[in-house]
Amino acid sequence: MNYQEFQKTIDISKDHLYREIYLANRDQIQVKKEKTVIRNLSRIFNAALKISNEKGFQAMSMRDLSRETGLSMGGLYAYFSGKEDLLEMLLRTGRTTTQHILGAQLKPVTDPAARLRVAIRAHIFLSEVLQPWFYFSSMQARHLAPGHREEAKASELETERLFMDIIEQGRTRGLFAVEDSLLTASVIKAMVQDWYVKRWKYAKRKVSVDQYASFVVSCVEGFCLRRERGAGSTGTL
């Protein structure tokens, strides 16, 4: 699976994503015309991520957001009650989308070695599709209020557990020669995370998302797979 194929298999169109946000929050959103809500949620989220990734969410004011979106202050408050409410929507949407897509990608795959490849590629490819959100969630987590900070940490640990569970399955079947599944999963998460946190570095070096995903898979397989299996696995990358 390459990045282009991944994009074709996921239902991550912007309209679909913002419609899901609208349905999850329609009790608090005062605007009832769905097309208007979808259009303005897109403007609000894109603007909030842009401003936050430039100067930080806490430093962003509602006036900044109003200016960037072209919506009045009253128009913004028709969608959320304040910055904390907006932050909750941003974090929850990213977490839910990530969990849903990773789960869908892994559901038909049973072999642990194949599951590990799919999990790594899907996570890297998804972080490319939703790069502003992934960067926001990673870089802003340390500046969040304690409750939101713990939620962000829990989300990262959940991804590590996903990798760890796959590695444990592989160990049980005798496919993986790994002594510490948790530390291995932590290192995999760090390698995946480097793509969206240091994306500028790879862009400067002209490394594509497909190249990076294949490299990470190759490194992980070289470390995890038993030698007799690993020697013949290069063709699966």
pLDDT score at 92:
81
pLDDT score at 3:
94
Alpha-carbon gap, residue 124 to 38, rounded angstroms: 26
How large a percentage of the chain has pLDDT more than 90?
57
pLDDT score at 232:
44
pLDDT score at 145:
67
> 53: how many CB neighbours lie within 10 A of its CB?
16
pTM here?
A: 0.84
Alpha-carbon gap, residue 123 to 195, rounded angstroms: 10
Alpha-carbon gap, residue 109 to 170, rounded angstroms: 13
Closest CA to 224 of 102, 120, 110: 120
- 130 contacts: CB under 8 Å, gap ≥ 6: 12, 94, 97, 98
The separation between CA 4 and the C-alpha centre of its own chain, rounded to angstroms, equals 17
Q: Kindly list the structural domains of the chain, giving each domain's residue range(s) and its CATH number in brackets, ordered by start.
A: 3-236 (1.10.357.10)
The DSSP result for the chain, as a single string, is --HHHHHHHS---HHHHHHHHHHHHTTT-----HHHHHHHHHHHHHHHHHHHHHH-TTT--HHHHHHHHT--HHHHHTT-SSHHHHHHHHHHHHHHHHHHHHHHHHTT--SHHHHHHHHHHHHHHHHHHTHHHHHHHHHHGGGS-HHHHHHHHHHHHHHHHHHHHHHHHHHHTT-B--S-HHHHHHHHHHHHHHHHHSHHHHHHTT--HHHHHHHHHHHHHHHHB-HHHHTT-GGG-
- 80 within 8 A of 73, measured Cβ to Cβ: no
Per-residue pLDDT 10s for the chain (237 aa) are 899 999 888 877 777 888 888 888 888 899 989 999 999 999 999 999 999 888 888 899 999 999 999 999 999 999 998 888 888 888 888 888 888 889 999 999 999 999 999 999 999 999 999 888 888 887 766 666 666 667 667 777 888 999 999 999 999 999 999 999 999 999 999 999 999 999 999 999 999 999 999 999 999 999 999 765 444 443 343
pLDDT score at 26:
83
